[in-house]
Amino acid sequence: MAAGVYLVTRMFPFFSPDALTVIAYTGAFTAIFAATMAVTHNDIKKVLAYSTISQLGYMMMGLGVGAYVAGFFHLVTHAAFKACLFLCSGSVIHALHTQDMREMGGLRKKMPVTFATMLIATLALSGIPFFSGFVSKDMILAETLSLAMKNPSHFLIPLFGFVGAGLTAFYMFRLIFMTFYGTPKDVKKFDHAHESPWVMTLPLIVLSLCSLAIFFTGSPLGLGELELFGEKSQWFKHLLETNSLETHSSAHTYALFLSLAVAGLGIFFATLIYYKQTLSAEKISEKFSSIYKTLTHLYWVDELYEWAVINNLLRLNNFLANFDNRVIDQVLVDGWAPITVKTSRGSGDFDNRVIDQTLVDGTGKVVQASGREVRKIQTGKIQQYLLIGLGAVCGILILLIFL
């Protein structure tokens, strides 16, 4: 999937504005669609997998609005902190032998290195200042907002982007609180839990350091110039080409505060529900049961795919199997056998009676009989040969006279 982002980045000058608009909407929809899937799932790796899909949507959205530097930059920053998150989840799974967050809890003291590194990567993914995700995601959101400010008809793109950012902060801190805070859900597994060995924690530390904003910008807060990728090119601006510098600058300012607000809101609700437990997740899921079931069933995409594709393919498979058994095997293959047997018998009789006896043997007999008759004139008497020759000459002369 990341290869697709790289391909669009490399091919960016060849895309028309209409094509980039389609890419932007596709990316924005993917960002919020996958983020909602991660909100209700309890498998720690599935949450991170849906988060990856959502972040790829952000990258495509950035490319679609013309911010190809921001889109590709987010691919780079995301590679570091998402790798850290997946390896941290592997460390947790290694310690507890389960991927279900409902069987975790209270691990931050038993696994301090895994907790600290996963928290850093989570802050980066949530777009919090001082971390790399804040820099790249803020650039994308600012460009989408700049586009909407100049082209209000495209307001859905920044709307999906900011809502997705809030959901990202919510489900990631939900993961942190369910995994590392609270009381252990499975005491037996908790008692056997331990920090991973250094060969597993050392990569976590390295990747968490690569999730800091200073690594890319030279500024701890992440508000400095993006020295690694350079300034945004001015030769291709897509829909932003009519934007004034004032509009672009104000969009970045608004995006900065809006992204911090939605991220803070997501963390706030995650804290109320999964840390302080002021709000009950069970009661909320019961109150919004239809939405909750839709999200847990991933918008019924699998069921729809099974009904529309798999079941129809199975029906086609059964039809072809019956056709093969009844038509191909029984009619064509098995039915052709007696015809072939009867034909071979007739062919054998024809070969024996007509070919062998009549044509072959009959020809031989005719030749033998002809030879016997012709042999009678071969007597060896010269007078007889002269007489026959003279008779033949006379017959030819008579024939020539009459003709």
Label each residue of the chain as H, E or C: CHHHHHHHHHCHHHCCHHHHHHHHHHHHHHHHHHHHHHHHCCEHHHHHHHHHHHHHHHHHHHHHCCCHHHHHHHHHHHHHHHHHHHHHHHHHHHHHCCCEHHHCCCCCCCCHHHHHHHHHHHHHHHCCCCEHHHHHHHHHHHHHHHHHHHCHHHCHHHHHHHHHHHHHHHHHHHHHHHHHCCCCCCHHHHHHCCCCCHHHHHHHHHHHHCCECHHHHCCCCCCCCCCCCCCCCCCCCHHHHHCCHHHHHHHHHHHHHHHHHHHHHHHHHHHHHHHCCCCCHHHHHHHCHHHHHHHHCHHHHHHHHHHHHHHHHHHHHHHHHHHHHHHHHHHHHHHHHHHHHHHHHHHHHHHHHHHHHHHHHHHHHHHHHHHHHHHCCCCCCHHHHHHHHHHHHHHHHHHHHHC
Tell me what pLDDT residue 221 has: 61
pLDDT band at 88 (very low <50, low <70, confident <90, very high): very high
pLDDT tens track for 177-197: 999 998 888 888 888 888 999
Return d(Cα 344, Cα 159) in angstroms, integer. Answer: 79
**Mean local confidence (pLDDT), 153-164:** 94
pLDDT of residue 141: 92
How confident is the model over 145-153, as a mean pLDDT? 89
Q: What is the pLDDT of residue 227?
A: 43
Mean pLDDT for the stretch of residues 285-311: 88
Q: CB 303: neighbour CB atoms within 10 A?
A: 11
| pLDDT higher than 60, residue 250 | yes
Q: What is the pLDDT of residue 220?
A: 64
Confidence of residue 249 (pLDDT cuts 50, 70, 90): low
**Residue 313 pLDDT exceeds 60:** yes
How much is the average pLDDT of 385-400? 86
Question: Residues 90-138: pLDDT tens digits?
Answer: 999 999 999 999 999 889 989 999 999 999 999 999 999 889 999 889 8
Calculate what percentage of the chain has a pLDDT beyond 90. 48
In this structure, of 53-67, 216-230, 265-279, the range with the lowest mean pLDDT score is 216-230
Q: What is the pLDDT of residue 247?
A: 55
Residue 248 is predicted with a pLDDT of 61
Q: What is the pLDDT of residue 381?
A: 76
Task: Scan for tokens 């696994």, then name that residue.
Answer: 111
Residue from 40, 210, 187 nearest 131 by CA: 210
Checking if the pLDDT of 150 tops 90, the result is: no
Question: Taking residues 286-306, what's their average pLDDT?
Answer: 87
Angle at CA 142, nearest 5°, toward 166 and 242? 145
Residue that wins the pLDDT comparison between 337 and 292: 292
CA angle 314, 318, 321 (to 5 degrees): 135
Question: Stretch 309-326: mean pLDDT, rounded?
Answer: 93
Report pLDDT for 400. 87
Confidence bin at 175 (pLDDT 50/70/90): very high
**Mean pLDDT, rounded, for 141-168:** 92
Q: What is the pLDDT of residue 173?
A: 96
- The percentage of the chain sitting over the pLDDT mark of 70, rounded to a whole number, equals 92
152, pLDDT greater than 70: yes
> How far is the CA of 234 from the CAs of 67, 70, 75, 206, in angstroms?
11, 14, 21, 35
pLDDT of 215-237, one tens digit each?
A: 887 666 655 444 444 444 333 34
Residue 168 has pLDDT above 70, yes or no: yes
User: Where does residue 85 rank: exposed (0-12), middle (13-18), buried (19+ CB within 10 A)?
Assistant: buried
